[in-house]
A and B are shown apart, each in its own frame.
Chain A
Amino acid sequence: MTIDDAALVERFPYLRIDHDTKHHFRGWLDERLLINRCDDCGRFHHPPKPVCPSCWSASLAPTRVSGRGVIHLTMLLHQGPPAPGVDYAKGPHPVVSVDLEEQEGLRYTSTVIDCPLEEVRIGLPVELTWIDRFGAPFPVFRPRKDA
């Protein structure tokens, strides 16, 4: 399903989307995590940029990644911006930056679900899953079942 730019913005009123990031967020609607990969040198980068920062090629392919990785950074937000399903009064909201397995140092940041807070730790293997936020898919991580 491909929708036009105006419809894309309407589906994600809380995001700042532009021509460099539109492919990434269109992927969310299909529950596909698309990370820019250079057609010429094969390197991934994130967040999406208009050219490949490694070789300056403008030939970039938003490429589906596995979403598997290992937690590299963690935060527990005891207060913060409002979001559906986030209730700081009930406990802190975890935010993790995950090293994706496709490339060293390629990270994706989101929350982690189905995981007790004391197990949200650097080094934990995680995988991608999707939740609903404002009626649209939102990518999150959960502990890897095969790990």
Chain B
Amino acid sequence: MPRNPIRDEIAIVGLGSTGFSRDSGGRSSKALACDAAIRAIRDAGLEAKDIDGIVGANEPGGPNPNQMTAALGLPQVTHFSSPTPVAVFALVDAMNALFSGSCDTVLLYYAYQRLPWNSRSAAKDPFRRIYPMGAIPAPEENNPSAAYAAWASRYIHEYDAPREDFGRVALNMRANARHNPLAVMKAPLTMEGYLQARMIREPLCMLDMDVPVDGADAFVLTTTERAKAITRNPVVIHAATVGLVDKNDEDQLPNLRRHGQHVVVESLKAKSDIWLSDVDLFFPYDGFSIITLGWIENFGWCKPGGAGRFLEEHWDDAAGSVRINGRIPINPHGGSLSEGATRGSGHLREAVMQLRGDAGARQVANARTALIGCGGFFFNSQGAILQRL
């Protein structure tokens, strides 16, 4: 049994989001981050002077923690850091800083902006031209993340998986996003529409890949002890982990049954009292649809190669999306595919909103626990389990 002394000791007490769009209306990434941060601090009932830790995901063009500390006028900070994406790296850093006593209250923020090389409209913004892409990679280079399409080809080969398996991931996210005011992609999507979408890196098409957006999410975290004093509805982090294997160069993974997600699942399961039969909400990452199929299988909802069939069997025709066992939604906010490419902060925010009972039309009745599988196969696999106290 791995040690997990931090279990349930850190709570999320504040949330703020700008919502996501393909045009931030002339606001900088720093402006979006400040907007989300102020909302989150106010949501926690706190002020600038209460924040003594600041953790911000190191997103291209995003503000770093010292810039945010200056912009928000945080008078004194004793922990700050800038972990690499995706979302749970920064969450784990914030948790550990609080648990160790480096600080007492953390502002955790994630700010995203469309970049000139992944958005045609962004390329027209003169203020975004300063972000260099660096050397143009050769078309044959795998890094970073190009090989998801390659491993999707392997998945199709090994399991004889039809494109509809991937399409169900996209359809689920789109149907869910339609009920989320923060989401960017709300046009109805049918399987026919999915199958006709433009191929980008075959076998993956445009709808298998997340949507670049402008926007920001922010969270306030503190110790559970303190959380109980300042809020009526703290959500605690029961377990969190990241996972990596040695052969993680994108084309060198041993196979689809041994990569970062497997380390995450083993670690999380060992750290947690809560597992699939106790879960009310499931948040598998969906930066690429193949990653979602991987999380479904690797968490053990079904056997390897069975995710497409699992989605079909648990499909709720009335909702147009999945309800596992008639009950558990998958990414009720619409995920990265349809809410927008939040690199997992959207999954984390929606988990907290649901566990607080604040998810409006999307609310899952009496939701108490959420399972999050963040990141993909190679260099950013992570997981977390949250619960309402």
Contacts and interface: CB of A to CB of B under 8 A. Distances in A.
Nearest to B153: A74
Interface in A90-114: 92-93, 95, 97, 105-111
B247 A105 contact: yes
Interface residues of A, number: 33
Which of the listed residues A72, A95, A106, A108 has the most CB atoms from chain B within 10 Å of its own CB?
A95
A77 interface: yes
A28 B151 CA distance: 27
Contact of B150 (A14, A75, A78, A110): A75
Contacts of A47: 249, 252
A119 to B, nearest CB: 14
B199 A15 contact: no
Contacts of B198: 78
Nearest to A106: B252
Interface string B139-152: 11110001101110
B138 A15 contact: yes
A14 to B, nearest CB: 6
Contact size class for B?
A: 20 to 34
B306 to A, nearest CB: 20
Given A75-B149, A109-B251, A92 B136 contact: no
Contacts of B138: 14-15, 81, 83, 133
A73 interface: yes
A82 B251 contact: no
Nearest to B158: A122
B146 A75 contact: yes
A93 B311 CA distance: 32
Contact of B139 (A53, A72, A93, A97): A93
Contacts of B135: 14-16
Contacts of B200: 77-79
Given A73-B151, A73-B153, A81-B136, A107 B252 contact: yes
A80 B199 CA distance: 12
A86 interface: yes
Contact of B201 (A77, A86, A133): A77
Interface in B223-268: 246-247, 249, 251-252, 254
A105 B254 contact: yes
B137 A122 contact: no
A83 to B, nearest CB: 5
Nearest to A79: B200
A110 B139 CA distance: 9
| From B146, B252, B254, residue with most partner A Cβ within 10 Å | B252
A46 to B, nearest CB: 7
Contact of B140 (A16, A95, A106): A95
Interface string A56-83: 0000000000000000111111111111
Contacts of A14: 135-138
A78 B201 contact: yes
B136 A73 contact: no
Contact of B157 (A86, A97, A107, A122): A122
Nearest to B139: A80
A71 to B, nearest CB: 9
Contacts of A79: 200
A138 to B, nearest CB: 8
Nearest to A98: B251
A140 to B, nearest CB: 8
Contact of A81 (B139, B151, B246): B139
B136 A122 contact: no
B202 interface: yes
Given A95-B150, A105-B254, A77 B246 contact: no
B179 interface: no
Given A46-B249, A123-B157, 8 more contacts: A73-B147, A73-B251, A76-B201, A77-B200, A77-B201, A81-B141, A97-B150, A105-B247
Interface of A: 14-16, 46-47, 53, 72-83, 86, 92-93, 95, 97, 105-111, 122-123, 133
13 contacts: A16-B135, A46-B252, A73-B251, A77-B200, A78-B201, A81-B136, A81-B141, A95-B140, A97-B142, A107-B251, A109-B141, A122-B154, A133-B138
